[in-house]
Amino acid sequence: MTQDLHPVISLRLFTDRKCFGPGVAALLHGVEARRSLRAAAQAMGMAYSKAWRILHEAEEQLGFKLLDSTAGGRHGGGAVLTPEGTRFLAAYDAWAAAVRAEAERLFAAQLGPWAGPDVHPTGMQSDKTEE
Amino acid sequence: MTQDLHPVISLRLFTDRKCFGPGVAALLHGVEARRSLRAAAQAMGMAYSKAWRILHEAEEQLGFKLLDSTAGGRHGGGAVLTPEGTRFLAAYDAWAAAVRAEAERLFAAQLGPWAGPDVHPTGMQSDKTEE
């Protein structure tokens, strides 16, 4: 293989449908940094209409607001995370980081023999499956 | 919210590109059950050409064969998992199951306050973010 085998984990939250995942999380981090949904979307190369839609859907599914508009309203002015949005984002980030760390640890335990570059499990080099 | 918030995890293995994930794993389980790649693909509603392609790409990236053709060759006849394919699939399944279990446990620890139906973290009901 051309590069070490490694896990790639995608972590999403659903209600009856998709609700919160890496896209909304990145958008919220962008709003924290830029205090504007439009600027956050632009920095991610995401259309503002999409940013507004995924944020609105997340708020609807979660049942609470993630952003508060500042002067000028959400369309014209800035935005900041609500207190509950801040707490929720921090909890999602902590969860995602912990799961990724566990996934790496378990990957080494379960799939370690296949993880090295061009390394097969010890004693299996003679398998007829090798071509 | 309309249904409890819950995590949905996707677990994939990459080298420099996508290599092995739920699709190939399901296909291999289908081959175990049906002893034919074509029948396994059909049972999943997957085009045989796609099944062949994702399997071939996984074998190329992993550096070993996952399937052995039986009478008639891979296109016409049946197929079985190679010994290393069997071991690898079992290791992937064990890894995925362990990560999912950890993700659920960590979800309860980190995001538990948001997990119930229409339940907000205690003491946060008065947030102005509630609308």
For the segment B38-72, what is each residue's pLDDT rounded down to a tens digit? 999 999 999 999 999 999 999 999 999 999 988 65
CATH 1.10.10.10 fits B13-111, yes or no: yes
Q: At A108, is the secondary structure helix, strand, or coil?
A: helix
Strands B67-69 and A67-69: unpaired
Structural contact between residues B41 and B29, judged by C-beta atoms closer than 8 angstroms: no
Q: For testing the chain A interface, which of B120, B122, B125, B129 should be mutated: the one with the most A CBs within 10 Å? A: B129
Q: What is A13-112's CATH topology?
A: Arc Repressor Mutant, subunit A (1.10.10)
**Domain chopping of chain A, boundaries:** 13-112
Closest Cα of chain B to A105: distance in Å? 10
pLDDT at B17: 85
Distance set, CA B122 to CA A66, B63, B73, B114, B125 (Å): 17, 52, 63, 10, 7
Contact (Cβ atoms closer than 8 angstroms) between residue B24 and residue B67? no
pLDDT in tens, B73-127: 455 568 999 999 999 999 999 999 999 999 999 999 999 989 865 545 443 333 3
